[in-house]
Amino acid sequence: MRIKTVISIFLHDKRGLAGFIIIMFFLVLSIIVQLGGFGIKDPNSLVSDENVIIGPEPPGPGHVLGTTYLGIDVLKAILKGTKTDVFFSIPSILIAMLLGLFVGIIAGYYGGIIDEIMMRITDIVFAIPFLILLILFISINSNIFTQFLVLSIAFFPIYAKYVRVETLKLRRSPIVLSSKAMGNSDFKIIIYKIVPRVIYIALAQVPLTFGALIGAFATVSYINYSNNPTIPELGYIAGQSLQFFNINPWATLLPSIIITILAIGFNLLTLGIRKAIDPREIGIWESSH
């Protein structure tokens, strides 16, 4: 697969490019917030940066979007919440992808009883709604890292299933069979022959699961299963401000809108990546350019 061709196809796909721009905007915004931009003193805590009157305040001078019932500036809270949702999702996605790659490759490469056992476990995890699984574990341990670890486990089957299918094809391919004939070990074959040819499939799923993961975390926080009320999170901000919707609707609407935009952005990015790595699209592009 030629990287230059893949990039060219992606850049000519309006949906994927739009998704990329949306995600990059929020990523850069998150970095600026973490570095203390926009006058934010503590980017990791949902507390007031200054002495304000406790109680929800409508938008006005000094507080463009008003304040929450705790006197927290809504605009700053939303910026902090966006940063939290984006940054805390990254390790969870990486764990899910790596776990899915491992399970998918091992199951597809060895087959037989190993494939049967690993994929049955994967099917069981996949059959459990991730929100129910998340709420169950949060009731035992509400640490934020527990939440994202559980979400990693909940989402790894998506990666494992796609990777396994491709590994099954590669196992019987000439490149793998010839490598075995040369006496290479299974470990060497997997690392040098299998992984480079299935990694792109896993990477194509990252934006889609990223959006779903942010939505899941926001939903749990929204229904007040938040692990710590001082940690800024968009779903928690929206849920806690709902009872004061008539005074300051922005505190509920804007976090919800940003969550929706993030989900749409990740889904558009996924569509673009899938088109860019589609062998048929690559063939069409190379034959016409």
Q: What CATH code is carried by the domain that includes residue 283? A: 1.10.3720.10
Measured CA to CA in angstroms, residue 2 lies from 109, 162, 206, 265 at distances of: 25, 21, 20, 25
Domain count, the chain: 1
pLDDT greater at residue 99 or residue 81: 99
Range(s) of the domain holding residue 98: 3-288
pLDDT band at 109 (very low <50, low <70, confident <90, very high): very high
When pLDDT is averaged across residues 128-135 and rounded to a whole number, the result is 75
* 12-21, 88-97, 128-137, 251-260, range with the lowest pLDDT: 128-137
pLDDT at 210 over 60: yes
pLDDT at 160: 93
Residue of 132, 185, 187 whose CA lies nearest to 154 = 132
pLDDT at 241 over 90: no
pLDDT greater at residue 129 or residue 111: 111
When pLDDT is averaged across residues 174-182 and rounded to a whole number, the result is 89
DSSP states of 193-207: IIHHHHHHHHHHHHH
pLDDT at 81 over 70: yes
Q: What are phi and psi of 103, to 5 degrees?
A: -65, -45
Number of other CB atoms surrounding residue 244 within 10 Å = 18
pLDDT at 227: 53
pLDDT band at 141 (very low <50, low <70, confident <90, very high): low
When pLDDT is averaged across residues 197-219 and rounded to a whole number, the result is 78
Residue of 57, 192, 219 whose CA lies nearest to 135 = 219
pLDDT greater at residue 276 or residue 139: 276
pLDDT at 61 over 80: no
Which residues, listed in sequence order, are joined to residue 60 by a DSSP beta bridge?
A: 63
When pLDDT is averaged across residues 235-253 and rounded to a whole number, the result is 75
For the chain, give the percent of residues with pLDDT over 90: 14
Average pLDDT, the chain: 80
pLDDT at 269: 85
Cite the DSSP H helix spans in the chain: 3-11, 14-34, 74-110, 112-127, 130-140, 144-171, 174-181, 186-189, 195-222, 234-241, 250-277, 279-288
pLDDT at 97 over 80: yes
From CA 253, how far away is CA 241, in angstroms rounded?
9
When pLDDT is averaged across residues 88-103 and rounded to a whole number, the result is 87
When pLDDT is averaged across residues 13-32 and rounded to a whole number, the result is 87
From CA 106, how far away is CA 100, in angstroms rounded?
10
When pLDDT is averaged across residues 23-43 and rounded to a whole number, the result is 77
Number of other CB atoms surrounding residue 141 within 10 Å = 12
pLDDT greater at residue 20 or residue 215: 20
